[in-house]
């Protein structure tokens, strides 16, 4: 389904005019606006952004990796751009860094073209790239192209922050037409796997099973560990890539330079180097870090995600991950008791 309104009883129409972004809507307008789902397409039974085509997705799955390929694999909003930036710096492929803020040539030289997403751009584009190639993918392990002694870096992030970041991503990118979208609607879509990249847990478990098979060279990295200790993360990635990358980080000055350039503060500057500004409404690098889900999840949503996590990750390495990051704790919500005592409607119309 490309468009639709979710009219279940869990949603209530705001009693007065409601603000969505910079626009003011009357109650019935706000209700219809917030119930809308992100625009997407269904290809081979899976949900994809409208920019994707069946031909390119299928060609990506048939791509033949080269021995010196580095493939950055994630579910969306799990640290993809951060890992791309680190790898590009280690391998000395940083032409995108020379894009001046506001430059017209940004589209052709941005990071999204230097290490493109294979299922979006297709195998023909990847095959025309010079080696060593760096590219990324949000495909599950069973669909990722394999062989050729390529190196895979799989980055994971806790599902609550992943969902929250993905919600803002959908609001930000124009092709979703979801600028004023509602968090509750997106939460349900994410939990049902009806978003681009499909079901988060299918993706995670697929890759964990692939790592256990030990048939490919795969480095597993947790996003939370990366932002918590960038220095160690850069050294670990360099050791996995080997060769000149290890030599780069053996120089204290070069290591410090890469770490500083990979901080959130640094990555928020000159954002046209990541992808053209015309594709989205606001900043591409928005917030980063962990814990923003606490500003969006209801307690019921937190419990639902916890239960899904326990069910789907039982018996996997992930079962022991993210206990602190996913914990619901009233101390994190300084205004919670006041809201319980005096439940005024929130600014976005949710109660």
> What amino acid positions are annotated as catalytic residues?
138
DSSP 315: T
Rounded CA separation 268/6 (Å): 35
Pairing outcome for strands 151-156 and 217-222: parallel
One-letter-per-residue 3-state SS of 42-87: EECCEEECCCCCHHHHHHHHCCCCCCCCEEEEECCCCCHHHHHHHH
Rounded CA separation 306/192 (Å): 15
Closest CA to 86 of 70, 65, 106, 101: 70
Q: What region, left, alpha or beta, does residue 65 occupy, with left being phi > 0 and alpha being psi -120 to 50 degrees?
A: beta
Peptide bond into 74 cis (omega under 30): no
Rounded CA separation 254/294 (Å): 37
**330 to each of 22, 249, 289, 292, how far by Cα in Å?**
31, 42, 20, 14
Q: Please state the φ and ψ torsions of residue 59, each to the nearest 5 degrees.
A: -65, -35
Rounded CA separation 291/302 (Å): 12
Q: Residues 6 or more apart from 29 whose CB is under 8 A from it?
A: none
Closest CA to 46 of 35, 65, 61, 64: 61
- CA angle 64/156/309 to nearest 5° reads 120
């Amino acid at each position: 389904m490309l468009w639709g309104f979710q009219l279940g009883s869990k949603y209530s129409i705001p009693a007065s005019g409601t603000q969505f972004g910079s626009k003011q809507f009357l109650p019935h307008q706000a209700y219809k606006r917030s119930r809308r789902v992100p625009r997407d397409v269904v290809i081979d039974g899976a949900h994809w952004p409208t920019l994707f085509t069946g031909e390119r997705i299928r060609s990506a799955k048939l791509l033949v990796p080269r021995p010196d390929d580095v493939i950055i694999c994630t579910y969306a909003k799990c640290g993809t751009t951060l890992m791309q930036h680190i790898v590009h710096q280690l391998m000395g492929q940083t032409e995108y860094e020379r894009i001046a803020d506001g430059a017209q040539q940004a589209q052709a030289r941005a990071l999204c073209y230097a290490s493109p997403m294979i299922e979006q751009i297709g195998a023909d584009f990847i095959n025309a790239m010079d080696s060593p190639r760096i590219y990324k993918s949000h495909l599950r392990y069973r669909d990722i192209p394999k062989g050729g002694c390529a190196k895979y870096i799989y980055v994971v992030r806790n599902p609550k922050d992943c969902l929250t970041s993905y919600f803002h991503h959908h609001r930000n990118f124009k092709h979703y037409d979801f600028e004023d979208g509602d968090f509750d609607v997106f939460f349900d879509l994410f939990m049902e796997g009806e978003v681009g990249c499909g079901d988060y847990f299918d993706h995670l478990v697929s890759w964990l099973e692939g790592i256990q098979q030990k048939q490919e060279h795969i480095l597993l990295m947790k996003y939370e560990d990366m932002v918590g200790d960038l220095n160690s993360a850069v050294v670990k990635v360099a050791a996995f890539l080997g060769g000149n990358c290890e030599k780069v980080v053996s120089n204290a000055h070069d290591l410090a330079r890469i770490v500083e350039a990979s901080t959130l503060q640094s990555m928020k500057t000159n954002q046209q180097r990541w992808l053209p500004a015309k594709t989205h409404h606001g900043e591409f690098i928005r917030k980063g870090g962990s814990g923003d889900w606490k500003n969006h999840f209801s307690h019921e949503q937190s419990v639902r995600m916890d239960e899904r996590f326990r069910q789907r990750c039982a018996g996997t390495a992930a079962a022991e991950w993210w206990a602190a990051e996913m914990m619901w704790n009233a101390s994190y919500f300084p205004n919670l008791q006041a809201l319980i005592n005096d439940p005024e409607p929130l600014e976005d119309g949710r109660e």
